[in-house]
Amino acid sequence: MTDRTHLVDAVTGHRRMRRLRKADWQRRMVQENRLTVDDLIWPIFVVPGADIMEPIAAMPGVCRMSVDKAVEAAREASDLGIPALATFPNIELSLRDETGSQILASNNLINQTTAAIKKAVPNIGIITDVALDPFTSHGHDGILRDGEIVNDETVDQLVKAAIAQADAGSDIIAPSDMMDGRIGAIRRGLDAAGHQDVGIMSYATKFASCHYGPYREAISTSGLLKGDKKTYYIDPANGTEAVRDAALDVEEGADMLMVKPGLPYLDICWRIKEAFGLPVFAYQVSGEYSQIKAAAANGWIDGERAMLETLLCFKRAGCDGILTYFAPEVARLLAKRG
Ligand code: PBG
């Protein structure tokens, strides 16, 4: 017998971490985090018209859907056990203007979608994004005046939009615009309109990231966007500032916090979960999705494993759920595995 005691320290030598990794049954016994269908929120893109499933080139496997198809998708999601959908509109360019006024229309594409899904599939949660970018002719999240995104005027617009969304049946309002003070203003507006039970999931820490590229193609804002969003989104270099930004949203009445993008910002997920204890959701954004799909299509990584591993990592980082374009695919996979 070879004496191997020299390989390990005399005191810690009895601790062999590999004992817990030696077999599948043992690994399952000590697994700390699990991904379940309850963790998934499915973002979908809606277009005007009927019977439309329009593939998005930059997001393989994702389509823009007409409202009727979105209702079918909601039914499928509900059958799979996915708790909620997040809806994003791609409206006609002719309806987009300087102030994003179409966001206020009670029957705009997003409100039509909410009403139709709520009627047909009442047991699925609907999360609606509140930001002007799908509705503006310049692709910014706020009102653009003299080259500047004006904060307070935008907030007034967002409050009205949030009330219209709640009137249409939205369960959770998700402001993604990063204007200051909008969470408190939206909370007050919803309450005054009798929507005390409508929740707010704040895109509390939203970074000025390159990873939104495919999404902008999906809602046709890439060609429109003038400049960038650095004057209102958070600098990717800043973690402490992101925690301070989230603190304001907590004070103003956010029920849930979101971190966006996801995987490059797991430290932020952890920090804000630890700091506030509110439910925290990560948005695995379009660029993160498309990177995995592209590498998998080239045979460079195992796409299914990358999908499962990245989603599990969000759980380890303290997230209560993930907005992900993989939602139906992963839900089907989880159902198959039982
Ligand atoms: C903006 C908004 C963005 C996304 C959702 N709402 C970012 C942007 O276009 O600047 C990105 C979602 C994704 O990339 O999947 N209100």
Q: How far is the C-alpha of 242 from the C-alpha of 264, rounded, in Å?
A: 14
69, 118, 206, 293: the catalytic one is 206
pLDDT of residue 6: 58
171 in ligand 1 pocket by Cβ < 6 Å?
no
Task: Compute CA 152 distance to the chain's CA centroid, rounded to the nearest angstrom.
Answer: 25
Q: How far is the C-alpha of 8 from the C-alpha of 13, rounded, in Å?
A: 5
pLDDT of residue 8: 58
Distance 205 CA to ligand 1 centre (A): 12
Complex confidence, ipTM: 0.98
Catalytic status, residue 118: no
Distance 24 CA to ligand 1 centre (A): 39
Short-list 129, 179, 182, CA closest to 159: 182
Q: Are 292 and 307 in contact (CB under 8 A)?
A: yes
Q: How far is the C-alpha of 208 from the C-alpha of 234, rounded, in Å?
A: 6
pLDDT of residue 261: 98
pLDDT of residue 243: 98
118, 260, 273, 293: the catalytic one is 260
Q: How far is the C-alpha of 129 from the C-alpha of 305, rounded, in Å?
A: 30
Catalytic status, residue 206: yes
Q: Are 206 and 245 in contact (CB under 8 A)?
A: no
pLDDT of residue 7: 58
Atom 2 (ligand 1): residue with closest C-alpha? 176
pLDDT of residue 338: 78
Q: Are 242 and 268 in contact (CB under 8 A)?
A: yes
Atom 8 (ligand 1): residue with closest C-alpha? 212
pLDDT of residue 15: 87
pLDDT of residue 4: 60
Question: 270: part of which helix (H) or strand (E)?
Answer: helix 266-276
Tally of CB atoms within 10 A around 244: 13
Which residue matches tokens 């707010």?
Answer: 200
Residue 22: half-sphere exposure toward Cβ, Cα within 13 Å: 5
**Tens of pLDDT along the chain (338 residues)?**
556 655 556 566 688 999 999 999 999 999 999 999 999 999 999 999 999 999 999 999 999 999 999 999 999 999 999 999 999 999 999 999 999 999 999 999 999 999 999 999 999 999 999 999 999 999 999 999 998 999 999 999 999 999 999 999 999 999 999 999 999 999 999 999 999 999 999 999 999 999 999 999 999 998 899 899 999 999 999 999 999 999 999 999 999 999 999 999 999 999 999 999 999 999 999 999 999 999 999 999 999 999 999 999 999 999 999 999 999 999 999 999 87
Short-list 275, 294, 298, 276, CA closest to 286: 294
Q: Are 190 and 196 in contact (CB under 8 A)?
A: yes
Burial of 69 (0-12, 13-18, 19+ CB in 10 A): buried
pLDDT tens digit sequence for 64-75: 999 999 999 999
Atom 7 (ligand 1): residue with closest C-alpha? 212
pLDDT of residue 299: 98
pLDDT of residue 3: 62
pLDDT tens digit sequence for 196-231: 999 999 999 999 999 999 999 999 998 899 899 999
141 in ligand 1 pocket by Cβ < 6 Å?
yes
Helix (H, G, I), strand (E, B) or coil at 264: helix
pLDDT of residue 71: 98
Q: Domains in the chain, please, with CATH?
A: 35-254 (3.20.20.70)
Q: How far is the C-alpha of 208 from the C-alpha of 235, rounded, in Å?
A: 6
Short-list 49, 50, 56, 41, CA closest to 219: 56
